[in-house]
């Protein structure tokens, strides 16, 4: 009898907590906005835009003030969040994937979704994907779009390939385009606003409404079992196309209106959790993939926007939406320097709010430096799982910070950050080293590649370069960055190989897709 009891006890220890139904294992919802800046939400200081639902998360959870995307552009951050690995270790060392590029996540690489699926979770990726489909150099839209989200851990996928204005003009569900013309091939044709073979193009100002409805349906269907929802709305990415009911509702033009629509969709998710009495069982994380873009639409001619309503003058206003918001006194990235694409703080310092009633203390703030790559290791910690050496090479467990534990030392010894042109930066405490490629600031001349050093404790705006005054610190930080690059990981563990040779100054190098 004692032997039998020991066997049962051993099985319980070995069995994933999600399968045992323990209340300590939550549903997990990650909501990631697209190009939302640190200063775009009320709890981070926005006064011209109202975000009551995002602010509610902050009141009921923890707001991080030093949270970072691993990159200041879309694709690399999404890769990093799902894999726990810096994207510059892959073939994509600058920029983002195009609409028709192949899947970036490598075969057999663990993701947050595959880890949770292995522990009994229902998993869904709903929204902007931007990580590619298939393995061919260019996607064949008339074949199953595989491998894709379903092959990296998600049981269901509904979303857009790149963004709500991308050239596919279509939703993807699982492995196929939605809204095909029967019997016709789907083709994206250069110079044409809409693809051939598409009977039902997406409606730009209704995309996030459609995505939210799919997310709510997924929550409803999986209310009785543990689930992971990776929900990635498209707002406020260019083109700025808020739905008609939100136009004119902010004090920051249609850019502010678009963010208020995003907030309403966050509210829809929270309301559904309220209705289903799932709040106490659900960890909700809200963040963004990079800082707000500072530039408006630059394309020639008027793009063919497909709108449900032209009320509010979106066609007249979308070209200058961000400039108009600044003129109205709104600072999308707060006081941080730069924006989307930059290695400076405005490019990658993000809103990051976590709510988990009973585990994350309500109404709290954390100044802990964290990175979105930390989601994988944190998820493993929640599950009581150990990551293998070849997973989450740049992922640290931030659960102690999330749950309000007193920390004897920073969780991250250092954090590597990456600009859209491939510019490296590294944070060590309050010190930040930027490996500038010499690209000129406005009104300045091109210079040779050089190091810039800032002390964010005394100069959070990155205005005073201390590299010449602190040569030893520059040397030490460069050595640490080089170590992280060459050993294939920034966390403790066995060395790993990068997918490719990592370019230290890759801004002039085009990634092979």
Domain at 62, CATH number:
3.40.720.10
Q: What is the pLDDT of residue 57?
A: 98
Cβ pair 89, 300 in contact under 8 A: no
- What is the pLDDT at residue 302? 62
pLDDT > 80? residue 347: yes
Check whether 117 has a pLDDT greater than 90. Answer: yes
pLDDT tops 50 at residue 360: yes
Q: What is the pLDDT of residue 386?
A: 96
pLDDT value for 29: 99
| Domain count within the chain | 2
**Lowest-pLDDT choice from 223-237, 388-402, 427-441:** 427-441
- Give residue 253's pLDDT: 98
Give the per-residue pLDDT at 441: 62
pLDDT of 180: 96
The answer on 35 and 88 residing in a single domain is yes
Residue 508 has pLDDT above 60, yes or no: no
Q: Does the pLDDT at position 20 exceed 80?
A: no
Whether residue 292 lies inside any domain: the answer is yes
**49/352 Cα distance (integer angstroms):** 18
For residue 408, what pLDDT is reported? 93
337 and 438, same structural domain?
no
Span 149-195, pLDDT tens digits = 999 999 999 999 999 999 999 999 999 999 999 999 999 998 899 99
Q: How does residue 24 score in pLDDT terms, banded at 50, 70 and 90?
A: low
- Rounded Cα gap, residues 346 and 41, in angstroms: 14
- At residue 285, the pLDDT reads 99
Q: Does residue 334 form part of some domain?
A: yes
* In-domain check, residue 1: no
DSSP three-state, residue 14: helix
Q: Do 89 and 63 share a domain, yes or no?
A: yes
Stretch 221-245: mean pLDDT: 97
Same domain (yes/no): 167, 201: yes
Cβ atoms 60, 354 nearer than 8 A: no
Q: Which of 175-179, 201-205, 309-313 has the lowest mean pLDDT?
A: 309-313
How far apart are alpha carbons 267 and 263 in whole angstroms?
A: 6
The number of residues making up the chain comes to: 513
Domain boundary among 341, 367, 402: 402
10 Å Cβ neighbour count for 488?
21
Instruction: Please check the confidence at residue 365 and state whether its pLDDT lies above 60.
Output: yes
Give the residue numbers spanning the domain of 130. 19-402
Across the range 367-396, mean pLDDT stands at 98
In a domain, 407, yes or no: no
Statement to judge: residues 258 and 129 lie in one domain: yes
Residue 8 covered by a domain: no
Residues 339 and 471 in one domain: no
Q: Which value, in Å, is the radius of gyration of the alpha carbons in the chain?
A: 22
Residue 6 lies in a domain: no
Instruction: Output the pLDDT for position 228.
Output: 98
Instruction: Report the pLDDT value the prediction gives residue 319, as an integer from 0 to 100.
Output: 93
Flag whether pLDDT at 477 surpasses 60: yes
Binning pLDDT at 50, 70 and 90, where does residue 22 land? very low
Same domain for 471 and 347: no
Least confident of 23-27, 117-121, 289-293: 23-27
Helix or strand run (H / E) with residue 322:
helix 321-327
* CATH code (residue 494): 3.30.1120.10
Question: Do 235 and 312 reside in the same domain of the chain?
Answer: yes
In this structure, the answer to whether residues 201 and 330 fall within a common structural domain is yes
Triad 454, 417, 79: Cα angle to 5° = 165
For the chain, the 3-state helix, strand and coil shares in percent, each to the nearest 5, are 30, 15, 55
Structure confidence at residue 300 as a pLDDT band (50, 70, 90): low
Would 462 be classed as within a structural domain?
Answer: yes
Q: Do 237 and 162 form a contact (C-beta atoms < 8 A)?
A: no
Residue 219, pLDDT score: 98
Work out the mean pLDDT of the chain and round it to a whole number: 93
Within a domain: 2: no
Question: What percentage of the chain has pLDDT greater than the value 70?
Answer: 92
Asked if 328 and 467 sit in the same domain, the reply is no
pLDDT tens digits for 139-156?
999 999 999 999 999 999
Q: Would the pLDDT of 236 be above 70?
A: yes
332 pLDDT above the threshold of 70: yes
Confidence (pLDDT) at 504: 85
11 vs 7, 16, 120, 171, 242, CA distance in Å?
Answer: 6, 10, 16, 43, 52
Q: Mean pLDDT throughout 467-472?
A: 98
Residue 224's pLDDT is what?
96
Residues 440 and 366 grouped into a single domain: no
Confidence at 445, pLDDT banded by 50, 70, 90: low
Residues contacting residue 446 through CB under 8 Å, at least 6 positions apart: 438, 439, 440
397 and 419 both lie in a single domain:
no
Residue at which a domain ends, from 373, 402, 431: 402
Tell whether the model's pLDDT for residue 303 goes beyond 50. Answer: yes
330 and 21 in contact (C-beta within 8 Å)?
A: no
Q: What are phi and psi of 125, to 5 degrees?
A: -110, 110
Residue 505: pLDDT band by 50, 70, 90 thresholds? confident
**Which of 402, 427, 458 corresponds to the end of one domain?**
402
Q: What is the pTM of this model?
A: 0.94
Angle at 339 between CA 454 and CA 504, to 5 degrees: 60
Please check the confidence at residue 44 and state whether its pLDDT lies above 50. Answer: yes
6-20, 145-159, 312-326: lowest mean pLDDT where?
Answer: 6-20
């Amino acid at each position: 009898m004692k032997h039998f009891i020991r066997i049962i006890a051993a099985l319980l220890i070995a069995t994933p907590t999600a399968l045992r139904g323990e209340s300590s294992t939550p549903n997990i919802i990650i909501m990631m906005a697209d190009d939302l800046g640190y200063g775009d939400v009320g709890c981070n200081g926005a006064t011209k835009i109202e975000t009551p639902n995002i602010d509610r998360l902050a009141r009921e959870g923890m707001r991080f003030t030093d949270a970072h995307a691993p990159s200041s552009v879309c694709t690399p951050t999404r890769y990093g969040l799902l894999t726990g690995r810096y994207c510059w270790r892959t073939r994509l060392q600058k920029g983002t994937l195009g609409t028709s590029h192949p899947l970036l996540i490598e075969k057999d690489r663990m993701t947050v979704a595959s880890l949770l699926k292995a522990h009994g979770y229902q998993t869904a990726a709903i929204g902007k994907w931007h990580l590619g489909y298939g393995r061919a150099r260019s996607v064949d839209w008339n074949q199953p779009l595989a491998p894709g989200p379903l092959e990296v851990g998600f049981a269901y996928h509904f979303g857009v390939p790149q963004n709500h204005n991308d050239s596919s003009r279509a939703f993807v569900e699982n492995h196929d385009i939605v809204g095909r013309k029967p019997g016709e091939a789907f083709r994206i044709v250069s110079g044409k606003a809409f693809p051939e073979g598409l009977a039902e193009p997406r409606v730009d100002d209704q995309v996030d409404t459609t995505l939210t409805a799919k997310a709510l349906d997924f929550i409803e269907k999986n209310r009785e079992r543990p689930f992971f929802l990776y929900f990635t709305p498209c707002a406020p990415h260019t083109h700025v196309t808020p739905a008609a009911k939100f136009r004119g509702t902010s004090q920051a033009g249609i850019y502010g209106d678009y963010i208020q629509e995003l907030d309403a969709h966050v509210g829809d998710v929270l309301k559904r959790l309220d209705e289903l009495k799932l709040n106490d069982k659900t960890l909700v994380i809200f963040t963004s993939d990079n800082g707000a873009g500072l530039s408006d639409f630059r394309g020639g001619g008027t793009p063919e926007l497909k709108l449900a309503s032209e009320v509010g003058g979106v066609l007249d206003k979308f070209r200058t939406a961000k400039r108009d918001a600044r003129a109205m006194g709104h600072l999308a990235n707060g006081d941080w320097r730069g924006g989307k694409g930059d290695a400076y703080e405005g490019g990658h310092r993000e809103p990051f709010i976590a709510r988990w009633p009973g585990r994350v203390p309500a109404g709290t703030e954390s100044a802990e430096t964290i990175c979105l790559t930390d989601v994988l290791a944190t998820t493993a910690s929640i599950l009581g799982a150990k990551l293998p050496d070849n997973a989450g090479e740049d992922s640290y467990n931030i659960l102690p910070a999330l749950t309000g534990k007193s920390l004897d030392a920073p969780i991250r010894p250092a954090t590597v950050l990456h600009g859209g042109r491939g510019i490296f930066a590294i944070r060590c405490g309050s010190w930040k080293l930027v490996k500038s490629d010499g690209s000129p600031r406005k009104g300045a001349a091109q210079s040779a590649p050089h190091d810039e050093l800032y002390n964010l404790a005394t100069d959070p705006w990155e205005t005073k370069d201390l590299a010449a005054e602190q040569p030893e610190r520059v040397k030490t930080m460069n050595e640490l960055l080089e170590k992280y690059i060459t050993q294939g990981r920034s966390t403790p563990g066995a060395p790993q190989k990068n997918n490719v040779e990592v370019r230290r100054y890759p801004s002039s190098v085009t990634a092979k897709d």
